[in-house]
Amino acid sequence: MELTRRHALTGAAAVAAAPLLAARPASAAAPVADKQAPSFYRYKVGDIEVTVVSDGRNTFTFEDSFITNAKKEEINAALEKAFLPRDIMTIYFAPLVINTGGKLVVVDTGNGPVAKVNSKGAAGQFADNLAAAGFDAKAVDMVVISHFHTDHVNGLLTADGTPAFPNAEVLVPATEWKFWMDDGEMSRAPAGRMQGLFKNNRNIFDAALKKKVTPYEWGKEVAPGLLAVETVGHTPGHTSYVLSSGSGKVFVQSDVTNNPNPFATNPGWHAFFDQDADVAEKTRRRIYDMVATEKLMVQGFHYPFPGLGHVEKDGNGYRVIPAPWNPTI
């Protein structure tokens, strides 16, 4: 056994004097990974297996007028209270893959491949994380869309504009479908963002998907165990879901709130993308009162990954308590 500096240092007496860092031999620097883990997470709801598959994040500044009815100082105070940085707002995107045992169901599709390029990989991660989670897009049986905003529908297409889930039935809320496909609504929409949304939806659903969609109604199962629930305001046909199997139950809220900090803690604050902000707020308070009272787990599309948690009342708002990550399932 070679007598090394390490052996000499094992005696307690030698410790105090040891210049721990100086005497170490230089080793080759290990390269930093500089890449996050593939962001997917699985859990069971009864017999159903859910995989949360992150689409990444997007960061806004206050110049984006993210919140229309709160002052900059109020928003910064709420961010600081949540230990979040001032002057910016980060939101997350979390489509789901639901394996019912009989059907492989995707719920919402993320920002899509163009956003991936534009954001330098911060958003539009869904397709990559889907593959990392072991799913083949060709094996998806159904794609269920909650509403027709870009971060939910743009992942329906690949970079070359063809269907990203070529063998899937695409299910859309009937009311949402009617709104965005209505030429009168389109002609009356304000220029800018709303006109852009109409054009984007026509491009996806009309030009690319040739209107091959199945509209669905609220109050009915759209897939085994997945009940569609009306939660309008954010959009005219905005839909949430109750996913249940056996004694397991999760409320899949879609965009009832955006990031719970600050939109659950301040349910009266209106985000610029709530199309009818007053109705959206009423829906938000109604749903959050319900999930808090029933202690129902909530899966939030814009919550920080993996986006599963419980809701409790806190003052005039609500606190979302993330479910602990289970290293097994």
Q: Which of 184, 190, 315, 327 binds its own copies (CB under 8 A)?
A: 327
Neighbouring-strand partners of residue 157: 163
Contact assessment for residue 257 and residue 300, using Cβ atoms and an 8 Å cutoff? yes
Burial class (CB in 10 A: 0-12, 13-18, 19+), 197: buried
As measured in angstroms, the least distance from the Cβ of 225 to its own copies is: 10
As measured in angstroms, the least distance from the Cβ of 321 to its own copies is: 6
- Interaction residues for its own copies, span 263-302 (CB under 8 A): 295
Q: Which residue type, as a one-letter code, is found at position 101? A: G
Site string for its own copies, 196-235 (x = CB under 8 A): --------------xxxxxxxx--xxxxx-----------
As measured in angstroms, the least distance from the Cβ of 132 to its own copies is: 8
Does 3 bind its own copies (CB under 8 A)? Our answer is no
Does 305 bind its own copies (CB under 8 A)? Our answer is yes
Nearer to its own copies, 153 or 223 (CB): 223
- Interaction residues for its own copies, span 84-103 (CB under 8 A): 84, 90, 92, 99, 101-103
Q: Which of 104, 137, 143, 264 binds its own copies (CB under 8 A)?
A: 104
Q: Who's near 131: CB < 8 A, 6+ residues apart?
A: none
Does 306 bind its own copies (CB under 8 A)? Our answer is yes
- Interaction residues for its own copies, span 235-264 (CB under 8 A): none
Tokens of 12: 């307690």
Nearer to its own copies, 224 or 248 (CB): 224
* Coil/strand/helix, residue 131: helix
Does 148 bind its own copies (CB under 8 A)? Our answer is no
Sign of the torsion angle spanned by Cα atoms 179, 184, 188, 191: positive
Q: Which of 95, 113, 300, 304 binds its own copies (CB under 8 A)?
A: 304
Does 186 bind its own copies (CB under 8 A)? Our answer is no
State how far the Cα of 17 lies from the Cα of 4, in Å rounded to an integer: 17
Give how far the C-alpha of residue 237 lies from the chain's centroid of Cα atoms, to the nearest Å: 19
Nearer to its own copies, 3 or 191 (CB): 3
Does 65 bind its own copies (CB under 8 A)? Our answer is no
Query: Which among 267, 272, 244, 248 has a CA at the least distance from the CA of 257?
Result: 267
- Alpha helices, H only, the chain: 5-8, 12-15, 72-81, 112-118, 126-132, 150-153, 174-181, 183-188, 193-201, 260-263, 277-294
Instruction: Please give the torsion angle defined by the CA atoms of residues 22, 10, 29 and 1, in that order, rounded to the nearest 10 degrees.
Output: 120
Q: Around 105, how many Cα atoms within 13 Å sit in the side-chain half-sphere?
A: 22
How many residues sit in the footprint of its own copies (CB under 8 A)?
82
- Interaction residues for its own copies, span 8-47 (CB under 8 A): 9-10, 12, 15-16, 18, 20-21, 24, 26-27, 29-30, 32-42
Instruction: Please give the torsion angle defined by the CA atoms of residues 285, 171, 148 and 72, in that order, rounded to the nearest 10 degrees.
Output: 30
Which of these segments, 71-79, 242-250, 272-280, 315-323, binds its own copies (CB under 8 A)? Answer: 315-323
Site string for its own copies, 107-126 (x = CB under 8 A): --------------xx--x-
Which of these segments, 107-115, 173-181, 268-276, 283-291, binds its own copies (CB under 8 A)? Answer: 173-181
